[in-house]
Amino acid sequence: MAVAARPTLWRTAARQYRRTVPARWWAQRPYLPLPDRHYVEFRLLTQYGRIDRAPEPSDVVNYLLWCAQWERYG
């Protein structure tokens, strides 16, 4: 919901989502375009120190703002 309220981040969010979905996702179960579980666990572990915690909405927004800035100036 935090990203839905910020239309300026929608393109960045879509781009980051596409980048995290494995190639040929349709050939592997669960046959959904989901980010790789190991990648998500790594990101949660490095951010919060554990993998069983949901990301904070403000952290997601800050990450997308950083991604947008990186794409612009990187």
Tell whether pTM > 0.75: yes
Summarised one tens digit per residue, pLDDT across range 2-37 is 999 999 999 999 999 999 999 999 998 889 999 989
**Cα–Cα distances in Å, from 17 out to 11, 12, 49, 67?**
10, 8, 22, 12
Nearest to 9 by CA among 72, 70, 61, 74: 61
Tally: H helices and E strands in the chain: 3, 0
Say if residue 67's pLDDT is above 80.
Answer: yes
